[in-house]
């Protein structure tokens, strides 16, 4: 009987381990590409995890702080600038998506503007 309880416990722990591993968040395999995104710039990629076409911007609307479109739409953004930026799901900066502090990265379904 003791052996049966021990076997049941081992099976339960194994199942719990498999469940925990399947629920863990996926990590980004790609490292932040500091060598491709110059310091003082915000870089956009059309694909997830720094894939696809990359665009580089250096305060394109400074000092007016107007809404600036992202074309083509970005799925990954790296803020390598020294100030925070806000990103939006529409082209006129109305549908807020995320704020990125310097050094932050965001992978999103689609970002279309920023300010």
| CATH number where 82 lies | 2.60.20.10
Domain for residue 44, yes or no? yes
Q: Per the confidence metrics, is the pTM higher than 0.85?
A: no
* Domain of residue 37, residue span: 33-114
Give the model confidence (pLDDT) of 25-37 as tens digits: 333 446 777 788 9
Per-residue pLDDT tens digits for 16-64: 443 344 333 333 446 777 788 999 999 999 999 999 999 998 865 556 6
Q: How close are the terminal C-alpha atoms of the chain, in Å?
A: 68
**Beta-carbon contacts of residue 103 (< 8 Å; ≥ 6 apart):** 79, 80
- Counting Cβ atoms within 10 Å, is residue 57 exposed (0-12), middle (13-18) or buried (19+)? middle
108, part of any domain: yes
Overall number of domains in the chain: 1
20: in domain:
no
28 within domain boundaries: no
- CA 96, CA 5: separation in Å to the nearest integer? 54
Tell whether 104 is covered by a domain: yes
């Amino acid at each position: 009987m003791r052996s049966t309880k021990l076997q049941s416990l081992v099976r339960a722990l194994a199942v719990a381990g498999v469940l925990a591993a399947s629920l863990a968040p996926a990590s980004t395999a790609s490292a932040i590409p500091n060598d491709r995104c110059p310091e003082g710039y915000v870089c956009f990629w059309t694909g997830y995890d720094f894939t696809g076409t990359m665009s580089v911007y250096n305060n394109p609307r400074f000092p007016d702080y107007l809404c600036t479109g992202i074309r083509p739409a970005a799925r990954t953004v790296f803020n390598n600038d020294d100030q925070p930026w806000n990103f939006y799901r529409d082209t006129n900066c109305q549908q807020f998506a995320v704020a990125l502090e310097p050094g932050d990265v965001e992978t999103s379904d689609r970002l279309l503007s920023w300010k």
